[in-house]
């Protein structure tokens, strides 16, 4: 994370120098640069790689319980070979109380089964599986982000605000010069409530479907 923070400070310094040069020359400095080099200079593009490296760090062997500190039955810290290799890291591990040790023996580590069929899939440790899955998803997201400039834009946009009040104000103020464009806005929509196949529909297509649904409803009522 130190490398990311250092790269971020370097990025902010470069942005300030760019703004200063732009104010002096009166030209757009960013437009003069090569567009292919901009994603590489942005430090947050390497954040998923840093997270993946942190998730793949070796950990000392722990008992198959919820606790993370290896202890004996008396609750004392056990210094094994893995802890000796860690060096200063093993000094951070403190012995646990007897009550905590008893709780560790009573509460097993969570497990779950893979697959969509209940009671059939492979049974795996939830902590280990989630760590591997997060690293895999980070790599997949990083690969798909490389092709964002070539992707076709959809008919909908997602805007995230820092404050809830700002989201409500933005939904009431944003307008567009073309008719029926950006006319429908929704606030605080859960991802599970979104029909992702419909986000690419145009404004006229959505309005025509709305009118057609009401016409079919009145037709069914008239026939009944």
Alpha-carbon 54 to chain mean position: 16
Whether the model pTM is above 0.85: no
User: Given this model, what pLDDT does residue 156 score?
Assistant: 80
Task: Give a yes or no: residue 97 inside a domain.
Answer: no
Q: How far apart are CA 187 and CA 8, in angstroms?
A: 31
H/E run at residue 31: helix 29-32
Task: Give a yes or no: residue 188 inside a domain.
Answer: yes
- Report how many domains make up the chain: 1
Task: Give a yes or no: residue 93 inside a domain.
Answer: no
pLDDT means over runs of 10, the chain (224 residues)? 66 78 61 44 50 55 46 53 44 53 73 86 89 91 84 79 88 78 81 82 83 95 90
The two tokens of residue 5 are: 């923070």
CB contact at 8 A, 82 and 104: no
- pLDDT, one tens digit per residue, over 108-144 is 888 889 888 888 888 998 888 999 999 999 999 888 8
Identify the domain containing residue 171 by its residue range: 164-223
Q: How far apart are CA 186 and CA 195, in angstroms?
A: 13
Task: Give a yes or no: residue 14 inside a domain.
Answer: no
Beta strands in 70-172 (DSSP E): 111-113, 123-125
Cα-Cα-Cα-Cα dihedral sign, residues 88, 77, 61, 129: negative
Task: Give a yes or no: residue 191 inside a domain.
Answer: yes
User: Given this model, what pLDDT does residue 5 score?
Assistant: 65
Nearest to residue 202, comparing CAs of 168, 134, 154?
Answer: 154
Q: How far apart are the first and last CA of the chain?
A: 67
Task: Give a yes or no: residue 70 inside a domain.
Answer: no
Tokens 């929509």 correspond to what residue?
Answer: 189
Task: Give a yes or no: residue 15 inside a domain.
Answer: no
User: Given this model, what pLDDT does residue 50 score?
Assistant: 56
Task: Give a yes or no: residue 173 inside a domain.
Answer: yes
Which residues face 113 on adjacent strands?
A: 123
């Amino acid at each position: 994370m130190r490398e990311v923070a250092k790269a971020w400070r370097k990025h902010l310094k470069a942005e300030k120098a760019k703004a200063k040069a732009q104010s002096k020359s009166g030209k757009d400095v960013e437009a003069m640069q090569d567009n292919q080099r901009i994603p590489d200079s942005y430090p947050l593009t390497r954040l998923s790689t840093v997270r993946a490296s942190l998730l793949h760090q070796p950990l000392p062997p722990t008992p198959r319980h919820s606790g993370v500190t290896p202890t004996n039955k008396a609750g004392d810290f056990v210094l094994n070979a893995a802890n000796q290799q860690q060096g200063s890291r093993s000094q951070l591990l403190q012995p646990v109380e007897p009550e905590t040790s008893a709780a560790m023996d009573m509460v097993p580590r969570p497990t779950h089964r893979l697959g969509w069929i209940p009671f059939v899939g492979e049974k795996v440790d939830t902590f280990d599986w989630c760590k591997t899955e997060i690293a895999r998803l980070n790599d997949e997201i990083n690969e798909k982000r490389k092709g964002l400039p070539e992707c076709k834009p959809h008919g909908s946009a997602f805007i995230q605000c820092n404050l809830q009040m700002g989201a409500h104000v933005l939904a009431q103020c944003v307008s567009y010069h073309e008719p029926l464009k950006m006319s429908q806005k929704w606030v605080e929509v859960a991802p599970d409530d979104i029909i992702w196949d419909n986000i690419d529909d145009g404004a006229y297509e959505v309005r025509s479907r709305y009118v057609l649904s009401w016409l079919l409803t009145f037709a069914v009522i008239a026939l009944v």
